[in-house]
Amino acid sequence: MKKVWLDAGHGGKDSGAAANGMKEKDLVLKMVKYAKSYLENHYKGVQVKLTRSTDVFYELSDRADMANRWGADLFVSIHVNAGGGTGFETYRYPGTKGDTLKLQECLHSAVLTAMKAYGQIADRGLKEKNLAVVRETHMPAVLTENLFIDRKEDAERLKDSGFAKAVGEAHARGIAKYLGLSGGSSKPAASKPKKEAPKKESEKKSSKKYTLPTGIYKYKSPMMKGTAVRQIQEACAALYFYPEKGAKNNGIDGYYGPKTADAVKRFQMVHGLSADGIYGPKTRAKLDSLLNK
């Protein structure tokens, strides 16, 4: 069982960077929760602990100590930047190579790819810095800086709940790649009626035959509503890419709005397609290959 420690920067009396009506401590807490949920629900053989799951404060050394005492296999600290710049960057302790560099590379690639689905993002690079949480931890440790809260363009993305979810889940995929985790669920199977274990999104099959429309569908195009759009939404939802999970019918309403575009974009991102939120021939082919085998 691999043990992952996720650290949401700041908290409590320490808001971190603040600008454009947002606080860093709130943004990063959302991201780590998304990362934890994604790891636990999409992979097996992994345990995840958080430094904080609420708005509380811990000293930097305490964060490292908790992970050290637990015997974590890796430590990832998630932050949001400030200072007038723009873009995404990651940090490891100066001079570290090997597994730490590999973890940094996996995280950097996964998160940057997810961010670029939302437009042009500056890649500020894989960096080294003498930061307490990467210095005092006894396992491979990386700190990520996810855009600049005081930059208008970056702030607009950070305000997007879909973006925060995509970034958090991308951290999870980077961690999974580094650890070599396989798909499935880390949660124990129920002891009652035996059912087939849920499969990861890319492996799910259904006995239902899905009708997938041809053509191109995208948000803000005229007449992007009707039966064909509902078919797209149902296909995405069958693979757990809901337009709006928890809403009535999980957001399946026959309207190609921003939430449907986001569901398509998340599907594209996970399956190596151009993540533009536009349903076209390549997206149709991939959906068809997963649902109608």
Q: Supply the residues annotated as catalytic.
A: 145
- Which three-class secondary structure state does DSSP give residue 293? coil
Find where tokens 């305000």 sit: 159
Residue 142 CB: number of other CB atoms within 10 A? Answer: 31
Both tokens assigned to 155:
């702030």
CA distances from 16 to 61, 87, 216, 233, 264 (A): 17, 18, 43, 38, 33
What is the 8-class DSSP label of residue 224? -
**Amino acid found at 46:** V
Separation CA 240–CA 246 (nearest Å): 12
- Which three-class secondary structure state does DSSP give residue 244? coil
CA distances from 262 to 12, 119, 138 (A): 32, 13, 38
CA distances from 195 to 7, 117, 242, 248, 290 (A): 35, 36, 23, 26, 21
What is the 8-class DSSP label of residue 43? B
Separation CA 278–CA 276 (nearest Å): 5
Separation CA 206–CA 215 (nearest Å): 24
Sign of CA dihedral 203, 209, 212, 218: negative
